[in-house]
Structure 1
Amino acid sequence: GAESALLINNAGIVEPIAPLGRQGSAAIARAVTVNVSAALVLADAFAATSTNVADRRLVHISSGAGRHAYTGWSVYCATKAALDHHANGVRQDALPGLKIESLAPGVIDTGMQSTIRGTSEEDFALRAQFVELKATGALASPEEVGAKIVEHVTGKNFGVEIITDIRTA
């Protein structure tokens, strides 16, 4: 009897952070499972169980890294790009009442950022840039970004664009 339903796929891990050949098969498999497989399985279940809901909204929390490659992040970039392409494919399915977006949240002061800053420059050549973001206060707070995401995904412009960024949505 619900009038609307919303699924936000927000799970994600940045590891392994390393060039190809030093990533490790277990770490790669874990990242693909968390970042892609779980999101796609949940999206399928959501679509299957919400067919009687007129306003269905599905959000993949993606990343700018899914749209631009970064050294040491080939697995993370690939998994986030997979979410972007999944959203494009789902849009082509034209399921009744279903709107979808793959939404990049920007650079947020989370545990993921701590992990990035703790990585060696040998594995992540851009480490100093992320240390600088923290030092200069350029990281957004999770609360601020979360509020923007809620406002956007419940708003009238949700689903107009498939690949979006909360900083410009």
Structure 2
Amino acid sequence: MIHLKHIIITGTSRGIGESLAIQLMDRNHHLICISRTTNQRVIDQAKEMECGIDYFNYDLTHIQDIDQLFEDIFRQIDLYSNDEAIYLINNAAMLTPVSPIERIKTERIIENIHLNLLAPMIITANYLKRTKDMNVDKRILNISSASAKYLLPSQSCYSTAKAGLDSFTKSIDIEQKLVTYPAKVAAVYPGMIDTHLQSEIRSVSKDLFPYVNEFTQLSEEGKLQTPEYTAHKLIEILLSEDFGKTVVIESIAQ
């Protein structure tokens, strides 16, 4: 009898999310991927590796329909009876807009906070509500950022959202210690990674972001981690026996 690990991952169209999905492929895993654009490479590779996959093409800035999305997701999970674990990785994020706050349009501020903070909160609420009575291994990994703690000009939206995600993670940890079948939870700062988020920040003008040259230099000197390395380290944390003991992990380096 095969016992399955169901793993829900947001933001799998590229970067860390794509690398997480690829490295988590296994015959005993059922991946549930969510991203704004469908990643055919991930779907094809999962089929090749005989890893169960359901792909949900969904824009997480549309927070009002996340409840329905999770109803659809758990319909897929309910098809299996021999569940060993249900994991959730809140990875989807956006860095932009990078600009002093007074120069940002209201709808761009709303979009950033929707994706970076409100979506993970609503997703987590749905996950916990639907797994409340399940006596299985439950883990929530929130991909945070050192920007939650180390502040730079022109990143107020992103930093505020990530600081909120850290506080949310700590709150959930406290709540889950009081329930019958608790989920373990951790937020992780993955470090400086060579992803679309980094290339976005390097394309911002110095007028909008005074530190743009420093970020360009890091890239040129090869000091950014690869998404593959980062995903490998995050998976080590997720699957570790100690998962959840440290609620906010500020470095993946070991």
TM-score range, shorter chain: over 0.9
Say if 1:62 and 1:102, in contact at 8 Å, map to a contact too. yes
Residue-by-residue CA offset, 1:54-82 (whole Å, 9 max, x unaligned): 32100110000011211110110000011
Select which of 189, 196, 207 maps to 1:122: 207
2:122 aligned with 1:37: no
Give the equivalent residue in structure 1 for 2:30. none
| Structure 1: stretches of 5+ with no match in the other structure | none
2:154 corresponds in structure 1 to 72
Whether the aligned pair in 1 keeps the contact of 2:187 and 2:248 (CA below 8 Å) is: yes
Higher Cα Rg: structure 1 or 2? 2
Check conservation: 2:187, 2:249, Cα contact below 8 A.
Answer: yes
**2:102 counterpart SS class:** coil
Unmatched tracts of structure 2, length 5 or more:
1-81
Number of equivalences = 169
User: Does 90-99 or 62-71 show the bigger shift?
Assistant: 90-99
Tell me if 1:10 matches 2:91. yes
Offset at 1:97?
2.7
More RCO (CA 8 Å, sep 6+): 1
TM-score, normalising length: structure 2: 0.64
Q: In structure 2, the residue corresponding to 1:3 is in which secondary structure?
A: strand
Structure 1 range deviating more: 50-59 or 40-49: 50-59
1:166 shift after superposition? 4.1
Of 186, 206, 211, the match for 1:101: 186
Runs of 4+ more than 2 Å apart:
165-169
Equivalent in the alignment of 1:138: 223
Identical counterparts, % of pairs: 27
